[in-house]
Amino acid sequence: MEVEKQRRAYIQQAPKILVVDDREDNLFSVETILQKDGYDIIKAPSGRAALRILLQQQDFSLILMDVYMPDMNGFETASLIYKRDSLKEIPIIFITAHNSDEKYIFEGYRMGAVDYIFKPINPDLLRSKVSVFVQLHRQKQVLLLQEKVLRQMNESLKREVEERKISEQKVRYLNDQLLQNNQELVEANKELDRFAYLASHDLQEPLRKIRLLSDNILTKQEVRGGSENTLKKIIGSAERMQQLIDDLLKFSRYSAGASDFVLTDLNLLVQEALQELEQSIQFSDIHINVGRLPVLYVIPTLMRQLFYNLLSNAIKFRKKEGPLHINITSRQLTTPPGGQLNGNAHERFYSITVSDNGIGFHPSYADDIFVLFKRLHSYHEYNGSGVGLAICKKISEQHHGSLKAYGHPDEGAEFTLTLPGEQVV
């Protein structure tokens, strides 16, 4: 708290003493006597000068003031000082050569003096009195500051108690909502598991038939012309699709384990994805530039699917006229964009960017395009189910990474995949 800082600062600073006298030799004498005790001595050659100083500085622990001064004596100066609330607590010791007139002394006390020192000044007596009154004043100020600290703490405690009461009510309400939501989530997960199993089972059945029929054709030597190579590609694609379905089914049900990650050259995965897209690429004006990609620990089938989906997405949303340019680049990062990823700290990070000059999208949709079944265009314009990019997002998170999208209408799109150099699973 601010008041507590003021209290600590006040304790640590040297006590300040204002010495007021119209004679330079008296000022020098008092300063010489007191300087060995570590005080911060401020000198004023007149009552008016003292008032000017006190307008700027109020943190004095004691004022030593000569009574007889021209223009404005010590009593008059003290009277003006104590008219200001901020100065009323500063003790004043008068210095005077008159030590016998009780009426005169009483006048000084009436003006607010705490004591007198008579000339000629006894150095030991001066040091002793100054020490007593300085300590008393400083202790009083510390207590006043401490009182403010306690008041602030008390007010803070009151607010905290009220806030806690309100928070407890909110917690009870949120806890009830959480129990209800948990039950709904359990049911939803069961339905999702059943859907994933049925969908994967229905998809695997026709794939098995494709492989079986293709193997029969090759075995019976009914292949003519260049069909053999095509059939081999069909079989290879069917095998990869079946493996992908198995991996996606495992991915939807379980978290990744250490054994799932394999040190893999991402360049090979991109080339495999391009081979699957060969038919879409070879008869179109599409130019794909692939820079040097890193070798990382990934789940190969899932990462291949991610590259396939991003490349397929770029091809799908190309402009109707003009060539399509797709660039895949990579760079090493010292820290991930926006801080740590999923709470894991890694020494190295890699950013892989897939960019194109297609139709793009409005920046406000940068998050929506990763939502499952979310489509920015009618299926009459562009085919697809709206699942591809959602799968890419999940795959990036399964790799303790992130996937961000950037784009502008008619200026193309850019997808940036950030992956850790070392996997923590």
Print pLDDT tens along the chain (425 aa).
554 565 565 566 778 888 999 888 888 888 888 888 888 888 999 989 988 988 888 888 888 888 888 888 888 888 888 888 888 888 888 888 765 566 667 777 777 677 888 888 888 888 888 888 888 877 777 777 777 777 777 787 788 888 888 878 888 888 888 888 788 777 667 656 655 655 565 566 667 667 776 776 766 655 555 566 667 777 766 776 666 566 556 545 545 666 788 899 999 999 998 988 887 787 788 888 999 999 999 989 889 989 998 998 888 888 888 888 999 999 998 765 565 544 444 468 899 999 998 888 888 877 877 776 555 554 445 454 556 787 888 888 888 888 998 988 888 889 999 998 877 55
β-bridge pairing 402-407 and 16-20 = unpaired
> Is-contact 267 288, C-beta < 8 A?
no
Report CA 69 to chain centroid distance, whole Å: 63
Q: What pLDDT is stored for residue 307 in this prediction?
A: 93
Most distant pair of Cα atoms in the chain: their distance: 139
Q: Give the H/E segment covering residue 133.
A: helix 123-219
Q: Indicate the Cα dihedral angle 300, 286, 413, 271, nearest 10°.
A: 10
Q: What pLDDT is stored for residue 354 in this prediction?
A: 93
What does DSSP assign to residue 293?
Answer: P
Tell me the Cα Rg of the chain. 43
Q: Is the peptide bond before 120 cis (omega within 30 degrees of 0)?
A: yes
Q: Give the H/E segment covering residue 131.
A: helix 123-219
Superfamily the domain 2-149 falls into: Response regulator (3.40.50.2300)
* Domain over 255-420 is classified CATH 3.90.1150.10: no
Q: Where are the domains of the chain?
A: 2-149, 255-420
Q: What angle do CA 290, 292, 297 make, to 5 degrees?
A: 110
Burial class of residue 266 (count of CB atoms within 10 Å of its CB; 0-12, 13-18, 19+): buried
Place of tokens 């001064």: 69
- DSSP-derived secondary structure for 201-223: HHHHHHHHHHHHHHHHHHHTT--
CA distance 198 to 201: 5
Residue 309 token pair: 């989906």
- DSSP-derived secondary structure for 360-424: ---GGGTTGGGSTT--SS-TTTS---S-HHHHHHHHHHHTT-EEEEEE-TTS-EEEEEEEESS--
